[in-house]
Amino acid sequence: MVFKYNFKEIEEKWQNEWENKNIFKVVEDKNKEKFYILEMFPYPSASGLHIGHAFNYIIGDIYTRYKIMQGFNVLHPMGYDSLGLPAENAAIKEGVHPKDYTEKAIANFISQQKKLGLSYDWSRMFMTHDPRYYKWDQWIFLKMYEKGIAFRKKAPVNWCPKCETVLANEQVHNGKCWRHKDTEVEIKQLEQWFFKITEYAEKLYDDIDKLKDWPEDVKAMQKNWIGKSYGTEIFFEINNKKWKVFTTRPDTIYGVTFMVISAQHPNLMELVTEEQKDKVLEFISKIKYTREEDIEKLEKKGVFTGSYATNPLTKEKIPVYVGNFVVAEYGSGMIMAVPAHDQRDFEFAKKYNLPIKVVIQPQDSELNNYEMEEAYTGDGLLVNSDQFNGMDNKEAIKAITKYLEEKGLGKRTIQFRLKDWLISRQRYWGTPIPIIYCDKCGIVPVPENELPVILPYNVIFDKGNPLATNKEFINVKCPKCNGNARRETDTMDTFVNSSWYFLRYCDPFNEKQIFDRERVDYWTPIDVYIGGKEHACMHLIYFRFYTKFLKELGLVNIDEPVIKLFNQGMVHGEDGAVMSKSRGNVVLPEEVSEKYGIDTARLFLVSNASPTKDIRWSESGIAGSLRFIKKILTYFDNVKVGKSTAKVESKLNKAIVKISRDIEEFNYNLAIIKLRNLFEYFGKEESIHTLETFLKLLHPFCPHITEELWRRLGNKSFIIQEKWPIADESKISPEIEKQERNIERLYEDITNIKRILGKGKKAYIYVLPDEITIYKEAKKELEKKTMLEIHIYAVNDKNKYDPHNKASKSKPGKPAVYIE
Ligand code: ANZ
Ligand code: ZN
Ligand code: ZN
């Protein structure tokens, strides 16, 4: 009888059962060990979810089911990062309100996710545009304001004329808007809100080494992003005032021949003399804003400011230039230029005919001030450096710094590349910043008991920020003097919302406080965090920063939010390109579910490669997974429940050990190979234990059919609530394992011989008499795998067919082979 199977029916049935019986709902339980699994916070795009997105959730789901069966109390929540620019832009384009637009998108997202059979505790679901959530964004903001971490300053900002909003540095890619890839980003000076993440730079940097279970490349990217430099701050006197300069090369101080201040330095004009003023103003109006990533390629340009600096050691007077290759935001925004040993300075000196003075002499050649074609940046011995002459330059870095410190002319310092986090957005669809401006009292934070500051629903979308033109929103009484005042109309960067959501999942609807400390202590940190590499720097740094801030407030007791970070690969479409709507190569889960069943798709997604690798969707691949699933279904429909052989038991127990380890390490593909392998050994009759164990091992990958088959075996329970199998290692027979390996080797011998012959229909195998049963058992399997007709003889069989007398070559565990 051919098995009739309606995937859709089975899937819906079990999804409903799990939901109705609250199978994945969890509460804190001190007697159970917790495990927190989280996939990165999705932005609910209106185009919904394709199989590529689904991959991420399925990886988390497999792990969750495995951990639940292992007896952990597993928190696996889901919610939506629903504020942000895309919703606002799309809403404007389509004339729908962002709230309605987003909520519709979320409803669609949820229904799609539910069809994947995901093990979420849906009772914890929240969306960040819900005032009950963003109230606490505002509350954290107030705490940061209190501690001086949230602050306001006038700052040059990246402005996308198309988005009509400020962009974070990270949202500028090669000078263009990340969203509008053809739009040049402009620079504007605006009063902005910032979070002083730089105060945490050192901690964020140093603690990266504690993240033992994070991918090395992500850690390297974060280190690079935070950018720690050990160096020296040196004081130069200019016009009777001390100016600081940051250098990593104090050993070159005798080679400084000019200074360069950034064209965007806030105090630049203090240095510019009357005669030079016009030239400087013209220069700064002409050049582009200096960005660190552009410096290397940039044509180095500058103008003399008219001022001179005094080198603190040589007392020489050296000219101060304003230049385009010094960034305002790094170090002190001014450099000591050493053209002999820094390529940027070298290019500048060549262009403006400034002196080049060698102070580091390499061991193997002699540098000459006049003949250099590029800077010498390597190591060597100091020359032209007074009492430091002859010293190794690495030594000189320490010695000169010490000398400067003794004389009060400088000090050792550490410099970070990380910039303060600009959180102001001139946009509607974000968390309102809880600040009021009063002419009398200045900046006044909204009192805590007046939170949340609600984002008004009725606004007019025109150009720019709709809040800025909304009188009802703006006009407010000052909390201090009760006079007329104005609300801040900037909203927060949406990365704010995703910086602490994992904590709220522990206590999602608390109205009295941000979350209950005990509940958070129970669940945190996140044990496994699953998401794409694109979040390596922004989200994951902000997330770590919030954790550290909240720890200082005494709200959490963890330093780091995540123990293990798992980056999944990308899913590519049939055409080989990354699956995306714009490419038109997306596969939708509902289509797949209709055609193959979602269990088949889940199996396929993790079968062919480690989930860390990119995978390619293929109809033939998924057909292969479907064949396996059908085989399993047909098998369970026909199998006789009875006894399993010692061999099957050995295989089964070995598989338990290996599959558990594979899942634990996210080697899902290897687990599947072992499951398939195990299945091959099953006979017409197997014990109930064997059959049930197989279903349990398969469950994390194919949750629906395994629940179904579990019931068909007569169980009343949910398989997901069963215990993960534990191997009985005493049943793993070394003898059987050895025979398996022998048969495997025989198979390889046969294929090799066949390949050398270039043909063959029949294979004759000569085995020692006491091994004949083992090899006869394997006959069918060998025939199938080698596609040859196989004859097995004991070597002492008088009737054997053996034209080349091969039987005499047979050894224990190594049969002889003859092919014709
Ligand atoms: C003198 C010198 C001599 C330098 C030499 C280098 C080589 P890190 O921290 O590793 O990136 N610098 C300092 N502030 C700068 C700014 N605001 N914009 C552009 N460049 C800046 O490198 C620090 C070095 O970058 C500093 O050391 C300084 O140049 C430059 F043979 O000072 B150095
Ligand atoms: Zn843009
Ligand atoms: Zn006031």
Per-residue pLDDT reduced to its tens digit, 565-605:
999 999 999 999 999 888 889 999 888 888 899 999 999 99
Helix (H) or strand (E) holding 643: none
For ligand 3, the distance from its centroid to the CA atom of residue 440, given in whole angstroms, is 5
pLDDT at 2 over 70: no
Residue nearest to atom 2 of ligand 1 (CA): 249
Q: Is residue 191 a contact partner of residue 153, using CB atoms and an 8 Å limit?
A: yes
Tell me how far apart the alpha carbons of residues 569 and 708 are, in angstroms, rounded to a whole number: 31
User: Ligand nearest 172 Cα, by number?
Assistant: 2
For ligand 2, the distance from its centroid to the CA atom of residue 186, given in whole angstroms, is 11
pLDDT at 1 over 60: no
Instruction: Locate the ligand 1 atom nearest the alpha carbon of residue 250 and give its number.
Output: 1
Mutation test residue for ligand 1: of 225, 232, 248, 322, the one with most atoms within 8 Å of CB: 248
* Inter-CA distances, 280 with 259, 325, 345, Å: 15, 15, 19
Confirm or reject: Cβ of 260 under 6 Å from ligand 1.
Answer: no
pLDDT tens profile 63-79: 999 999 999 999 999 99
Q: DSSP character for 456?
A: P
* Inter-CA distances, 796 with 301, 766, 810, Å: 93, 9, 11
Confirm or reject: Cβ of 429 under 6 Å from ligand 1.
Answer: no
Instruction: Locate the ligand 1 atom nearest the alpha carbon of residue 295 and give its number.
Output: 19
pLDDT tens profile 107-160: 999 999 999 999 999 999 999 999 999 999 999 999 999 999 999 998 777 888
**What pLDDT shows up at residue 778?**
87
**What pLDDT shows up at residue 4?**
60
Confirm or reject: Cβ of 415 under 6 Å from ligand 1.
Answer: yes
Tell me how far apart the alpha carbons of residues 680 and 152 are, in angstroms, rounded to a whole number: 67
DSSP string, 708-765: HHHHHTT--S-GGGSPPP---GGG--HHHHHHHHHHHHHHHHHHHHHHHHT--SEEEE
User: Ligand nearest 442 Cα, by number?
Assistant: 3
Beta bridge partners, 245, equal: 234
Tell me how far apart the alpha carbons of residues 301 and 348 are, in angstroms, rounded to a whole number: 7
User: Ligand nearest 158 Cα, by number?
Assistant: 2
Instruction: Locate the ligand 1 atom nearest the alpha carbon of residue 332 and give its number.
Output: 17
**What pLDDT shows up at residue 168?**
66
Residue nearest to atom 1 of ligand 1 (CA): 247
* Inter-CA distances, 380 with 339, 367, 372, Å: 16, 11, 16
Residue nearest to atom 32 of ligand 1 (CA): 247
Cα R_g (the chain), whole angstroms: 35
Confirm or reject: Cβ of 644 under 6 Å from ligand 1.
Answer: no
Q: Classify burial at 339, counting beta carbons within 10 Å of its beta carbon; exposed 0-12, middle 13-18, buried 19 or more.
A: buried
pLDDT at 95 over 60: yes
- pTM of structure: 0.87
Q: DSSP character for 84?
A: S
Instruction: Locate the ligand 1 atom nearest the alpha carbon of residue 246 and give its number.
Output: 13
404-408, 450-454, 744-748 — which is least confidently predicted?
A: 744-748
| 812 preceded by a cis bond (ω within 30 of 0) | no
* Inter-CA distances, 228 with 201, 202, 248, Å: 8, 8, 11
359, HSE (Cβ side, Cα atoms, 13 Å):
27
Q: Give the chain's end-to-end CA distance (angstroms, integer).
A: 39
Instruction: Locate the ligand 1 atom nearest the alpha carbon of residue 248 and give its number.
Output: 27
User: Ligand nearest 182 Cα, by number?
Assistant: 2
Residue nearest to atom 10 of ligand 1 (CA): 229
Q: Is residue 188 a contact partner of residue 156, using CB atoms and an 8 Å limit?
A: yes
Share of the chain above pLDDT 70, in %: 99
Helix (H) or strand (E) holding 571: strand 571-572
Confirm or reject: Cβ of 334 under 6 Å from ligand 1.
Answer: no
**What pLDDT shows up at residue 92?**
78
| 589 preceded by a cis bond (ω within 30 of 0) | no
For ligand 2, the distance from its centroid to the CA atom of residue 46, given in whole angstroms, is 19
**What pLDDT shows up at residue 179?**
77
Confirm or reject: Cβ of 336 under 6 Å from ligand 1.
Answer: yes
* Inter-CA distances, 662 with 97, 194, 718, Å: 47, 45, 24
Q: Going by C-beta distance under 8 Å and a sequence separation of 6 or more, which residues neighbour residue 211?
A: 219, 560, 562, 565
Extract the runs of DSSP E, i.e. beta strands, from 291-333.
302-310, 317-323
Mutation test residue for ligand 1: of 230, 236, 249, the one with most atoms within 8 Å of CB: 249
Q: Confidence band (pLDDT; 50, 70, 90) for 170?
A: low
Share of the chain above pLDDT 90, in %: 80
**What pLDDT shows up at residue 46?**
86
Confirm or reject: Cβ of 327 under 6 Å from ligand 1.
Answer: yes
pLDDT tens profile 398-415: 999 999 999 999 999 999
* Inter-CA distances, 97 with 69, 102, 237, 429, 457, Å: 44, 8, 58, 10, 8
Confirm or reject: Cβ of 330 under 6 Å from ligand 1.
Answer: yes
Q: Going by C-beta distance under 8 Å and a sequence separation of 6 or more, which residues neighbour residue 807?
A: 766, 793, 795, 800, 816
Residue nearest to atom 33 of ligand 1 (CA): 247
Q: Is residue 250 a contact partner of residue 232, using CB atoms and an 8 Å limit?
A: yes
User: In whole angstroms, what separates CA 226 from the centre of its chain?
Assistant: 16
pLDDT tens profile 666-718: 999 999 999 999 999 999 999 999 999 999 999 999 999 999 999 999 999 99
Q: Going by C-beta distance under 8 Å and a sequence separation of 6 or more, which residues neighbour residue 557?
A: 521, 551
Confirm or reject: Cβ of 255 under 6 Å from ligand 1.
Answer: no
Residue nearest to atom 29 of ligand 1 (CA): 247
For ligand 1, the distance from its centroid to the CA atom of residue 470, given in whole angstroms, is 47
Q: How many CB atoms lie within 10 A of CB 767?
A: 26
User: Ligand nearest 356 Cα, by number?
Assistant: 1
Beta bridge partners, 791, equal: 764
Mutation test residue for ligand 1: of 267, 335, 367, 384, the one with most atoms within 8 Å of CB: 335
Give the mean pLDDT of the chain: 93
Confirm or reject: Cβ of 335 under 6 Å from ligand 1.
Answer: yes
User: Ligand nearest 162 Cα, by number?
Assistant: 2
Tell me how far apart the alpha carbons of residues 483 and 294 are, in angstroms, rounded to a whole number: 48
Handedness of CA 722, 727, 730, 736 (dihedral sign): positive
User: Ligand nearest 486 Cα, by number?
Assistant: 3
Confirm or reject: Cβ of 258 under 6 Å from ligand 1.
Answer: no
Instruction: Characterize 431-448 residue by residue with b for buried, 16 or more Cβ atoms within 10 angstroms of its Cβ, and e for exposed.
Output: bbbbbbbbeeeeebbbee
Q: Hey, what amino acid is at 203? A: K
Q: Is residue 563 a contact partner of residue 528, using CB atoms and an 8 Å limit?
A: yes
244-248, 521-525, 810-814 — which is least confidently predicted?
A: 810-814
Confirm or reject: Cβ of 342 under 6 Å from ligand 1.
Answer: yes
Instruction: Locate the ligand 1 atom nearest the alpha carbon of residue 338 and give its number.
Output: 3
For ligand 1, the distance from its centroid to the CA atom of residue 333, given in whole angstroms, is 10
Confirm or reject: Cβ of 247 under 6 Å from ligand 1.
Answer: yes
Provide mean pLDDT across the span 305-313: 97
Tell me how far apart the alpha carbons of residues 522 and 519 are, in angstroms, rounded to a whole number: 5
**What pLDDT shows up at residue 593?**
85
Q: Is residue 419 a contact partner of residue 169, using CB atoms and an 8 Å limit?
A: yes
Choose among 22, 118, 34, 59: nearest CA to 532. 59
Q: Is residue 415 a contact partner of residue 331, using CB atoms and an 8 Å limit?
A: yes
User: Ligand nearest 443 Cα, by number?
Assistant: 3
Confirm or reject: Cβ of 248 under 6 Å from ligand 1.
Answer: yes
Choose among 461, 490, 580: nearest CA to 88. 461
Choose among 423, 154, 148, 169: nearest CA to 266. 154
Q: Going by C-beta distance under 8 Å and a sequence separation of 6 or more, which residues neighbour residue 451?
A: 135, 138, 139, 142, 434
For ligand 2, the distance from its centroid to the CA atom of residue 170, given in whole angstroms, is 13
pLDDT at 207 over 80: yes
3-class secondary-structure state, position 38? strand
Confirm or reject: Cβ of 331 under 6 Å from ligand 1.
Answer: yes
Q: Classify burial at 427, counting beta carbons within 10 Å of its beta carbon; exposed 0-12, middle 13-18, buried 19 or more.
A: buried
pLDDT at 3 over 50: no
Q: Is residue 361 a contact partner of residue 380, using CB atoms and an 8 Å limit?
A: yes
Instruction: Characterize 529-546 residue by residue with b for buried, 16 or more Cβ atoms within 10 angstroms of its Cβ, and e for exposed.
Output: bbbebebbbbbbbbbbbb
For ligand 2, the distance from its centroid to the CA atom of residue 159, given in whole angstroms, is 8
Confirm or reject: Cβ of 200 under 6 Å from ligand 1.
Answer: no
Confirm or reject: Cβ of 264 under 6 Å from ligand 1.
Answer: no
Residue nearest to atom 26 of ligand 1 (CA): 247
User: Ligand nearest 483 Cα, by number?
Assistant: 3
Confirm or reject: Cβ of 333 under 6 Å from ligand 1.
Answer: yes
Instruction: Locate the ligand 1 atom nearest the alpha carbon of residue 340 and give its number.
Output: 31
Q: How many CB atoms lie within 10 A of CB 665?
A: 11
3-class secondary-structure state, position 157? strand
For ligand 3, the distance from its centroid to the CA atom of residue 448, given in whole angstroms, is 17
Confirm or reject: Cβ of 416 under 6 Å from ligand 1.
Answer: no
